[in-house]
Amino acid sequence: MAPAGDDSQAKLEALLQERAQAAEKTVRPQRVRRECTQAKLAVFAALAIVLVVVAACASAVVPYDPYAQNLSQALQAPSLEHLSGTDRYGRDLLSRIIMGGQSSIFSTLELVAAITVVGTAVGLVAGWKGGWVDTLIMRVSDVFLAFPGLVFALAVAGVLGGGLQNAVIALAAISWPKYARIVRGLTLAQKNASYLQAARLSGCTTRQLLVRHVLPNIAGPVLVTAVLDIGTMLMELAGLSFLGLGAQPPLAEWGSMMSDNRNLLQTAPWTVVGPGIAIFITVVVFNLLGDTLRDWIDPEHRSTRTGGQGWFSRRSNRRLVGRAIAATEKGDADASASTRKEHV
Amino acid sequence: MRSYVVKRLLQLIPILIGITLLAYLMMYLAGGNAVEAMLENQGVAVSQEVIDARKHELGLDQPFIVQYLNWLGGVLTGDMGVSYISGKDVFQTFVSKLPATIVLTVLSVLLTIAISVPLGILAAVKRNRAVDYAIRALGFIGNSLPNFFVALLLIYVFAVRLGWLPVVSSAIGRTGLASLSLKGAILPTLTLGIAMSAKYTRQIRAAVLDELGKPYVEGARARGVPERTILVKNVLKSCLIMIVTLLALSIGDLLGGTAIVETIFQWDGVGKLAVDSITMRDYPLIEAYVVWMALIYVGVNLVADLLYHYLDPRLRLGGEA
């Protein structure tokens, strides 16, 4: 009997190994894809960090003084001496672009950080409190979302007067409701999760519940939204500056530089194209970072992007997203009502 | 369907009140400066008495809510005061500039349809092949270019280098619609159309892919229905509802997003009017622009929403979304 036993043992082992290999085979593409996403994430994060660091140390890395005028060098085409050429005052354009990165990138980061924090706080309160607080906050955010495109930001910037800081305020005023809506939806989805009930039963205060449990669970999607917004906000901020409602010359800022050099398009196109390419590269880097971050945090999304469900992508119309969120919330509210009944 | 329409209209009421209140509040807070700016523009020596007298004359010393209601009545009857700069009627000025913006918007939406619908479908059908990657890459680039940069690049290539098209869209000495020409409309339309197409190609691709992944498509394939027939008769038909709605919504977005492009091309529409008024601190005009653009946007969105409900038989014949 012994050999037979050995034999069946060996067979069983072989079978198990085969199964394991088969499982490995189906798992591997996912794992490879995830490792690939991680590698991409590292590359794009590094690029973004390089941009931010260069912008932060702008005054140390610029080859020339970005504000020093030298009329004898005015409107030089790009050369080895001036890699991006010079503007009408003979200022080195590359230096101005690097210096402009400081104003453009940092005011954008400041803007995105502000609307993320404010929107998250407001959304958390709305989702957690519910009732009239929620209704009021959502109606107010509806009103802000009812202004199309830059209309409201234009008016706010106009009323406040020019200046980069005012442009940031104007854009923040119209952008926070989006975050409030997203966070509210996410909070509602978490509100009745069993882990929260467990935490509550074990004596967590509301503050602990929100900060320790809810916030970490909703941080992923919020972070992705924020990183993806950096590019859009950078372009909108530069747009306001382009219209003269943001940074004012002589401050080096990409949007106002392009506006300033607009009438040189015929004679010195590099004065316009240089800052434009700087905006483009920055937006591309942050958009790639955001896309990859989303794939990493939410691998499910990959399947929806390359097929599967969910026709609206991240840039889809605010209203449609809002409607979808509202629909899920409705479902959640119903579900929570029924669970509450069950518990009673 | 009817109950849905009623429900949507009722939902609009707080939003409309909110929009007008917010717009008014903003100008109210800027109010003091506004009177000063107006007086300065008229060359009156600014003293506190003069300002107070003028405020009284304009009813600016009344309680906020009274002022708001007075103003709201004015908005609804088209009486929004006169421009600080030109002295012309604000509402008339706004209305006279509106057609140019609508023309630009409609042209851009048409271009967007012409570009994004075929590309979106093509990308979905050829999913994960070279064509798909190329279209997605183009979309990504289009999404990462600010529209003023696109506008300047187009001007550089087609107006400065090739000299085919004018740099400035409007004819000198004319205003409003009369100043526009088809040739001058090409570059602004292209600028807006490129950005919109980048956005909508992606969405249309996702919608078609979503539809292609549904069980009925597999069922049709299993029954031997040719791929072409499935695509044209089933998939596109059901995507059409979504595409129509998206484009209707995009009209609202475009109306509010033309300010930069209109300014660059000197297109004599409301966007340029708004930027000019802001530069000259012409508050009544800014106010009219903000309120009316929001009202138009809300109206267009309402129509888009109802259209969506009307086009989808499931929603039209009873069930709610």
CA distance A237 to A240: 5
Q: Which residue has the higher pLDDT, B76 or B104?
A: B104
pLDDT given at position B71: 82
Asked, for residue A12, whether it belongs to a domain, the answer is no
**Is the Cβ of B308 closer than 8 Å to some Cβ of chain A?**
no
ipTM of the complex: 0.85
Number of structural domains found in chain A: 1
pLDDT at B42 over 80: no
Residues in B closer than 8 angstroms to A239, CB to CB, are 146-148, 260
- By Cβ distance, the residue of B144, B256, B286 closest to A280 is B144
Asked, for residue A309, whether it belongs to a domain, the answer is no
**Is the Cβ of A335 closer than 8 Å to some Cβ of chain B?**
no
CA distance B302 to B164: 40
- Domain containing residue A122: 18-190+210-303
**Is the Cβ of A192 closer than 8 Å to some Cβ of chain B?**
no
H helices within chain B, ranges in order? Answer: 2-29, 31-41, 48-57, 64-77, 90-125, 130-143, 147-154, 182-212, 215-222, 227-229, 236-256, 259-265, 270-279, 283-311, 313-316
> Are A260 and A82 a contacting pair, CB within 8 Å?
no
Q: Which amino acid is at B257?
A: G
Q: Which residue has the higher pLDDT, A258 or B81?
A: A258
Compute the average pLDDT of residues A268-297.
92
In DSSP terms, B82 is beta-bridged to B89
pLDDT given at position A145: 87
Asked, for residue A53, whether it belongs to a domain, the answer is yes
Give the model confidence (pLDDT) of A22-71 as tens digits. 766 666 677 788 888 889 999 999 999 999 999 999 888 888 888 888 88
Asked, for residue A216, whether it belongs to a domain, the answer is yes
- Highest mean predicted confidence (pLDDT) among A2-6, A32-36, A210-214, B108-112: B108-112
Asked, for residue A87, whether it belongs to a domain, the answer is yes
**Is the Cβ of B152 closer than 8 Å to some Cβ of chain A?**
yes
Give the model confidence (pLDDT) of B188-217 as tens digits. 999 999 988 998 999 899 889 988 888 888
Give the model confidence (pLDDT) of B108-167 as tens digits. 999 999 999 999 999 998 988 999 999 999 999 999 999 999 999 999 999 888 888 877
pLDDT given at position A307: 37
**Is the Cβ of B255 closer than 8 Å to some Cβ of chain A?**
yes
CA angle B158, B162, B166 (to 5 degrees): 50
Is the Cβ pair A280, B278 closer than 8 Å?
A: no
Asked, for residue A332, whether it belongs to a domain, the answer is no
Instruction: Please list, in sequence order, all residues whose beta carbon lies within 8 angstroms of the beta carbon of residue A177, skipping any fewer than 6 positions away.
Output: A119, A140, A141, A142, A144, A145
Measured in angstroms, the CA of A223 and the nearest CA of chain B are apart by 19
pLDDT at B179 over 80: no
Mark which residues 275-304 of B lie under 8 Å from A by CB. 275, 277-279, 281, 283, 286-287, 289-290, 293-294, 296-298, 301
> Are A41 and A296 a contacting pair, CB within 8 Å?
yes
Asked, for residue A22, whether it belongs to a domain, the answer is yes
**Is the Cβ of A262 closer than 8 Å to some Cβ of chain B?**
yes
CATH assignment at residue A261: 1.10.3720.10
pLDDT mean across residues, chain A: 81
DSSP string, B170-212: SPTT--GGGG--HHHHHHHHHHHHHHHHHHHHHHHHHHHHHHH
pLDDT given at position A14: 80
Residue B33's pLDDT band (boundaries 50, 70, 90)? low
- Highest mean predicted confidence (pLDDT) among A188-192, A234-238, A334-338, B279-283: A234-238
pLDDT given at position A237: 93
Lowest mean pLDDT among A121-130, A174-183, B73-82, B275-284: B73-82
Residue A314's pLDDT band (boundaries 50, 70, 90)? very low
Asked, for residue A199, whether it belongs to a domain, the answer is no
